[in-house]
Every structure is written in structure tokens, then in C-alpha cells.
């Protein structure tokens, strides 16, 4: 099967259109500047020709004036001035013709009209120059020969009459050219404004198209992206909250298994080491007190009642013990069957570890008695306590548990197993720590498995109960 060619993305199309529109605007701006420059050049040429026309009109008036003066006073100075004016008149006519021929930006129609108007006044200009020259020569002869005024009919055919006639024709033609140029200038200015407005309108139209075809879809795309981002952020926030809740629950579960300092060290150890590496957290504590509690007759009880009911009873009893351990800020280590193990003095050392354990032990006796009253059962517990040094920590790879090791732990277990129902059995080491606060009764020497004979005591109560 042939694969379909992927369509160009909308963003790519918008980018192409945006680039093309900007290029069009730049092209139009350049073309507009060229047209404006061309029109300004044309207007400059128009002004130059108008200036030549005005200069020619001024020269025409001066030639009439000096010709009449030459007639009245044919002096050498007047003749020289008139001769200079005739030369200037000739030069201005040539300059006007040359300027008209050199107009580059006129249309063919405009050039044709201009040439026609100039050709109309050109004979009058030549005739006027010749009449002025003839007038200058006649004035010289009359001065030399002393002629009187000629008759009126002769004057009509004289150079003065010709001069005045051609002056009238010439001034009319120059006025006509000047007026025509003024109209062309006004038309050029109007065309320039139209070009400016047209270019501005075209640029606004292109910008409007950009807004409709480029910016509006881009803004909509941005809004859609922001909406999606908002949804994603909300989902991320919800997921983060769920993750935080799950993390909190996981940490709480971890804290229910391990002490808080140990849990923190375990997380740091797993974060910085291989997940499959052996975990070893082992700390030595010299001043601790360990307590074991065991339910009397539990084995016989388990054979008489269903397991579910048995577990339910154990849960109620151990839950009360947990509350006591929490109230005394002691560390519950574990339960093994019907045995309950708790320690004082770790993971955070404390000076009253033995006192706290002893106080909890006495309240555990009271808690069992209250439980029997509440449930109608007849449970009893044996409790054994020993004080000394231990090693506490976490070992292994899976199913971590905070545990204790050492001879102090073993002796505490022996105190429980060699104890009596409803009593708290303690070693001499624990007695030394408690004797100033609690009432203790000497039991005497007993034979302890693996330790031989040991002197032990019964914990009876506090000396000054609160």
C-alpha cells in the first residue's frame, strides 16, 4: 500500500502566508516610494518650466519697456541694455524649449500638448526679438538723421506695433502654458494623494487579511493550547495530589513498620544504592529496656475457638497495648503469635527507658483486666523485662522489620517465660534502675536456661502513684 503524503501543517501554511504578505507589503512600499519619487521629480521639472515661463514673461515686459525708452531716448546705454535683453530673451526661449524637450516623466499626450503650446508662441517670440532689434536700429538712424514723427498709418506698421502685437500674443501663450502647468501640478498632487491613500488602503487590507488568516487562527491555536495546558496542569495537579496521598499512605505504612528515623535512613539508603544491594542498618544502644508479654493459655484457647475470632481477640488486646506504647513514646518491635515485644531507649536514646517500660507493663496488666470486664473473657498475661545493651536495625532485602539482637533480648524473653500470670518479672539490672521509683519484691535465685542461676524481682507498683 502506498503511503499518503503528510499534509503541510497549518502553522507552516500560516508562516508561508505571513511571509508572503509581509513581502507584498514591502514590495508595495518600495513601489510606492518609487512612484512618489517619480512624481516629485516630475513636479520639480514642472516647477522649473513654470519658472522659465515667469522669467520669459518678465523679460517680455522689460523688452517692451526698454524698446519704448529706446524710442524716446535712443542713447548708447539704452541700446546696450536693450541688446542685453534681446540676448537674454533669446536664451530664455532656448532654455524653455530645451526644458520642454527634456521632460522625462511626461506622458506622450502631455509632451505633445506642451510642444504644441510652445510651438504656438515660438514665432511670436522670434518676431518680438526681431521687432525689438529693428526698433533699436531705427532709433539709432533717427537720432543720427534727426527724423520727425512718422504719420499714424506708418506707426501701425512700425516695429512698435509689431512688438506690441507679438507681446500680446506671447503673453497670452505664456499665460496659457503657465495655467496648463498649474493644472498639471494640481493633477499631479491629486494623483499623489490618491496613490498615497491607495497604498495605505492596500496595506491596511493586507494587514486585515493577516489578522483574519494569520493572527486570528494563531490566537485561537494559542487559546486552544492554553486550554489544553490548563487541563493538563489540572490533571497533573490531581495526579500529584493522588501521588502525594499515596506517598503519605506509603510513608505512614512504612512508619507503622519502622521507626521514623530508621524509615528515613532506609529511603536514603535505597536512593543512593542498588535496589538489589543488601540493606544493613545496625546501631548499638547501651542503655535500653526490653519487654516481652505473652498471653497465658493461648495455645489451649486456639484449639477451642475459630481462628477468625481468635485473631479478632488478639487484635483488640494488642491495639490497647499499641495505644499504651504510643502514650509512653516507646517503640513496639513486633508481635509473634500471642507474644508482644516493646523496647525503650531507642531509636532515640532516653534516660527513663526503664521507668517508661515498667509503667507500661503495669498498665498492660490493668488493660487485660479491663478487657476481661468488657468482653467477659478471662485472659492473663506474663511480662518479662530486662535492661542492657542491644543492637537494633534492619537487615535483608525484602519485608523489612526493625528488630533487636543481643543477650539483653534473650534474657528479657527468659524473664517472660519464667514469670507468672498477672505479674511483671524483671532482672537485677532493671531492678537497679527502678528501685527508687517502683515497689519491687525480691523473688530470689532462679535457674535460667542458658544463663544459670539469676537473681530476679517482681514489679508490684509505683512508690508514689499519681
Q: How far is CA 379 from the centre of its chain?
A: 70
- Spatial CA neighbour of 454 closest among 439, 443, 465: 443
What mean pLDDT is predicted for residues 6-29? 65
Question: 239-289, pLDDT tens digit by residue?
Answer: 888 877 877 776 666 566 666 666 676 666 654 455 445 556 778 899 999
For position 145, what pLDDT does the model report? 44
Per-residue pLDDT of 443-465, as tens digits, reads 989 998 888 899 999 999 988 87
- Cα separation, 281 vs 95, in Å, equals 113
DSSP H or E stretch at residue 281: strand 279-295
Query: What mean pLDDT is predicted for residues 3-7?
Result: 45
Q: How confident is the model at residue 292 (pLDDT cuts 50, 70, 90)?
A: very high
Strand locations in 347-421, DSSP E?
A: 381-396, 403-405
What is the number of H-type helices and E-type strands within the chain?
12, 8
Q: What is the pLDDT of residue 256?
A: 61
Rounded to 10 degrees, the C-alpha dihedral 405/406/411/412 comes to -40
Query: Of residues 64, 338, 357, 385, which has the active-site annotation?
Result: 338
Which pLDDT value is given to residue 466?
60
Q: Residue 83 — very low, low, confident or very high, per pLDDT cuts 50/70/90?
A: confident
Q: Where are the domains of the chain?
A: 10-221, 276-462
β-pair partners for 343: 290, 331
Evaluate if residue 358 carries a pLDDT over 70. Answer: yes
Does residue 338 have an active-site annotation?
Answer: yes
How far apart, in Å, are the Cα atoms of 302 and each of 306, 307, 314, 315, 339?
Answer: 7, 7, 11, 14, 14
195 pLDDT more than 50: yes
**Please, are residues 416 and 386 in contact by the beta-carbon 8 Å criterion?**
no
The per-residue pLDDT for range 394-441, each reduced to its tens digit, is 877 776 778 889 999 999 999 999 999 999 999 999 999 999 999 999
CB of 434 within 8 A of CB of 354?
yes
Length of the chain: 466
Cα(first)–Cα(last) distance of the chain, in Å?
91
Q: At 303, which helix (H) or strand (E)?
A: none
Question: Using N-to-C axis directions, what is the helix angle for 260-272 and 216-257, rounded to 10°?
Answer: 120
Of 102-106, 112-116, 173-177, 185-189, minimum mean pLDDT range: 102-106
164-178, 222-236, 271-285 — most confident range:
222-236
Q: What is the mean pLDDT of the chain?
A: 77
CA atoms 220, 222, 228, 234: torsion sign: negative
- Give 121-143 pLDDT, tens digit per residue: 666 667 666 766 766 666 555 54
pLDDT for the residue 260: 66
Distance in angstroms (rounded) separating the CA atoms of residues 119 and 97:
9
* More confident call, 416 vs 218: 416
Q: Is the pLDDT higher at 361 or at 187?
A: 361
Q: What is the pLDDT of residue 390?
A: 92
The reported pLDDT for the residue numbered 415 is: 92
pLDDT of 4:
45
Which pTM was predicted? 0.50
Look up the CATH number of domain 276-462: 3.30.70.1230
- Distance between CA atoms of 377 and 275, rounded to whole angstroms? 48
| Closest residue by Cα to residue 70 from 16, 142, 148 | 142
420 DSSP 8-state letter: -
Residue 105 known to be catalytic: no
The active-site residue out of 49, 64, 294, 381 is 294
Tens-digit pLDDT profile for residues 332-355: 988 888 899 999 998 889 999 999
Cell of residue 210, nine digits = 493577516
Please say if the pLDDT value at position 86 is more than 80.
no
The per-residue pLDDT for 18 is 65
CA 63/CA 65 separation, integer angstroms: 5
Q: Which residue has the higher pLDDT, 334 or 103?
A: 334
Q: Which of 127, 118, 115 is nearest to 89 (CA)?
A: 127
Whole-number percent of the chain with pLDDT over 70: 68
Q: Is 295 in the active site?
A: yes
Residue of 49, 177, 295, 368 marked catalytic: 295
How large is the C-alpha radius of gyration of the chain? 63
Cell numbers found for residue 125: 517670440
Nearest to 418 by CA among 290, 289, 294: 294
Half-sphere exposure of residue 170, counting CA atoms within 13 Å on the CB side? 27
Amino acid at each position: 500500500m502506498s503511503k499518503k503524503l503528510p499534509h503541510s501543517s497549518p502553522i507552516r501554511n500560516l508562516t508561508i502566508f505571513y511571509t508572503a504578505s509581509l513581502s507584498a507589503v514591502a514590495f508595495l512600499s518600495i513601489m510606492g516610494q518609487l512612484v512618489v519619487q517619480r512624481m516629485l521629480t516630475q513636479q520639480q521639472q514642472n516647477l522649473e518650466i513654470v519658472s522659465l515661463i515667469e522669467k520669459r514673461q518678465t523679460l517680455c515686459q522689460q523688452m517692451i519697456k526698454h524698446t519704448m525708452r529706446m524710442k524716446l531716448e535712443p542713447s548708447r546705454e539704452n541700446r546696450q541694455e536693450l541688446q542685453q535683453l534681446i540676448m537674454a530673451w533669446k536664451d530664455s526661449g532656448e532654455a524653455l524649449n530645451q526644458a520642454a524637450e527634456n521632460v522625462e516623466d511626461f506622458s506622450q499626450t502631455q509632451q505633445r500638448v506642451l510642444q504644441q503650446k510652445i510651438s504656438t508662441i515660438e514665432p511670436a517670440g522670434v518676431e518680438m526679438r526681431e521687432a525689438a532689434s529693428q526698433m533699436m536700429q531705427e532709433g539709432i538712424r533717427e537720432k543720427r538723421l534727426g527724423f520727425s514723427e512718422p504719420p499714424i498709418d506708418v506707426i501701425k506698421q512700425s516695429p512698435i506695433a509689431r512688438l506690441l502685437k507679438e507681446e500680446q500674443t506671447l503673453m497670452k501663450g505664456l499665460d496659457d502654458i503657465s495655467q496648463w502647468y498649474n493644472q498639471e501640478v494640481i493633477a499631479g498632487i491629486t494623483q499623489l494623494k490618491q496613490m498615497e491613500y491607495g497604498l495605505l488602503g492596500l496595506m491596511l487590507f493586507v494587514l486585515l487579511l493577516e489578522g483574519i488568516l494569520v493572527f486570528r487562527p494563531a490566537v485561537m491555536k494559542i487559546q486552544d493550547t492554553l486550554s489544553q495546558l490548563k487541563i493538563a496542569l489540572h490533571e497533573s495537579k490531581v495526579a500529584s495530589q493522588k501521588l502525594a496521598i499515596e506517598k503519605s499512605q506509603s510513608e505512614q505504612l512504612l512508619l507503622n513498620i519502622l521507626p521514623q528515623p530508621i524509615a528515613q535512613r532506609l529511603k536514603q539508603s535505597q536512593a543512593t544504592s542498588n535496589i538489589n544491594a543488601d540493606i544493613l542498618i545496625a546501631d548499638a544502644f547501651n542503655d535500653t529496656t526490653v519487654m516481652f508479654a505473652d498471653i497465658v493459655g493461648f495455645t489451649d484457647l486456639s484449639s477451642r475457638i475459630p481462628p477468625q475470632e481468635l485473631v479478632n481477640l488478639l487484635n483488640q488486646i494488642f491495639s490497647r497495648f499499641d495505644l499504651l506504647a504510643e502514650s509512653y513514646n516507646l517503640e513496639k518491635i513486633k508481635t509473634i503469635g500471642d507474644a508482644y515485644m516493646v523496647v525503650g531507649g531507642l531509636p532515640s536514646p532516653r534516660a527513663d527507658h526503664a521507668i517508661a517500660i515498667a509503667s507500661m507493663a503495669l498498665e498492660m496488666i490493668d488493660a487485660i483486666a479491663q478487657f476481661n470486664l468488657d468482653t467477659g473473657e478471662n485472659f492473663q498475661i506474663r511480662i518479662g523485662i530486662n535492661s542492657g545493651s542491644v543492637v537494633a536495625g534492619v537487615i535483608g532485602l525484602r519485608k523489612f522489620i526493625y528488630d533487636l539482637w543481643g543477650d539483653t533480648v534473650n534474657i528479657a524473653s527468659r524473664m517472660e517465660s519464667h514469670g507468672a500470670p498477672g505479674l511483671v518479672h524483671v532482672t537485677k539490672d532493671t531492678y537497679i534502675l527502678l528501685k527508687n521509683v517502683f515497689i519491687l519484691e525480691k523473688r530470689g535465685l532462679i535457674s535460667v536456661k542458658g544463663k544459670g542461676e539469676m537473681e530476679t524481682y517482681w514489679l508490684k507498683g509505683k512508690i508514689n502513684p499519681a
